[in-house]
Amino acid sequence: MLLKTSKQILDSSRYRATYYQQNRSFPPAFIRRFLLRYPSAHLYLVFGLCSSAMVAPVLHSCYLYMTMSKNEFEQYRVEQNAVVLERQKFGKGLWFPFMSKEEPKPAETSR
Task: Evaluate whether residue 59 is within a structural domain.
Answer: yes
CA-to-CA distance for 18 and 25, rounded, in angstroms?
A: 19
Task: Evaluate whether residue 102 is within a structural domain.
Answer: no
Q: Is the pLDDT of residue 111 over 50?
A: no
Task: Evaluate whether residue 72 is within a structural domain.
Answer: yes
What's the confidence (pLDDT) of residue 70?
Answer: 96
Which residue in 55, 62, 27, 53 sits closest to 41, CA to CA? Answer: 27
Average pLDDT over residues 41-52: 95
Q: Which residue has the higher pLDDT, 66 or 8?
A: 66
Task: Evaluate whether residue 100 is within a structural domain.
Answer: no
**What are the residues whose beta carbons fall under 8 Å from the beta carbon of 92, sequence distance 6 or more?**
86
pLDDT digits (tens, 9 = 90+) for 59-107: 999 999 999 999 999 999 999 999 999 999 988 878 788 877 777 666 6
pLDDT band at 36 (very low <50, low <70, confident <90, very high): very high
Task: Evaluate whether residue 55 is within a structural domain.
Answer: yes
Q: Which residues of 7-24 are buried (b: 16+ CB within 10 A; e: fewer)?
A: eeeeeeeeeeeeeeeeee
The parent domain of residue 82 ranges over 29-90
Least confident of 1-10, 22-31, 68-77, 89-98: 1-10
Task: Evaluate whether residue 57 is within a structural domain.
Answer: yes
Task: Evaluate whether residue 3 is within a structural domain.
Answer: no
Domain count, the chain: 1
CB atoms within 10 A of CB 68: 14
Give me the chain's average pLDDT, please. Answer: 82
Task: Evaluate whether residue 49 is within a structural domain.
Answer: yes
